[in-house]
Amino acid sequence: MIFMEVFLDNRQSKVDIDEKILDTLIRVVKESLRVEDLEGDFEVSISFVENEEIKELNKEYRGIDKETDVLSFPLDEDLLVPVPLLGDIIISVEKALEQAQEYGHSLERELAYLTAHSMLHLCGHDHMENQEKIIMRDKEKEIMKSLGVFKGEKGV
């Protein structure tokens, strides 16, 4: 049985994030944990920011001086807390909207994908090596398919 708490922090004002989108993202977090066969209690935070803030974070933590769509910050497993904190997901909603328009699907679908991608990072996956990338992409597809969210879909 999975108990999870998802903390949502909207620090941007350029794009409306409605309840339907928030509900979808919570479903993505839960489905990601199921795909990873994780059981127990977990906490995750998702912050919605503007391009300028994510650019600053990307420069500070990755040494890359440009905006990106999403950053994942897994928390230290050695922290002694009552509920395991998987980590933080920071999403540039401006960049997500731009990508949704570019790929011809909804903002909700793009945010769902970015959340699934980041959840897999929080669970220890990476895509630096080709084999890791294949595994991660397969899991992303499984999460999105199980939620009925497909590439190019205008609505979720």
Mean pLDDT of 2-29: 92
Cβ atoms of residues 15 and 107 within 8 Å: yes
Q: What's the pLDDT band for 96 if we cut at 50, 70, 90?
A: very high
State the pLDDT at residue 156: 52
For range 135-156, the mean pLDDT = 80
Q: Is the pLDDT of residue 118 over 80?
A: yes
Residue range 2-146, CATH number: 3.40.390.30
Does residue 125 have a known ligand-binding role?
A: no
CB 71 within 8 A of CB 59: no
In this predicted model, what pLDDT tens digit does every residue of 39-79 receive, in sequence order? Answer: 778 889 999 999 999 999 999 999 999 999 999 998 865 55
pTM: 0.89
Map out the domains of the chain as residue ranges. Answer: 2-146
49: which strand partners?
A: 92
Per-residue CA distances from 110 to 96, 104, 131, 137 (Å):
6, 10, 24, 15
- In angstroms, the first-to-last Cα distance of the chain is 26
* Residue count of the chain: 156
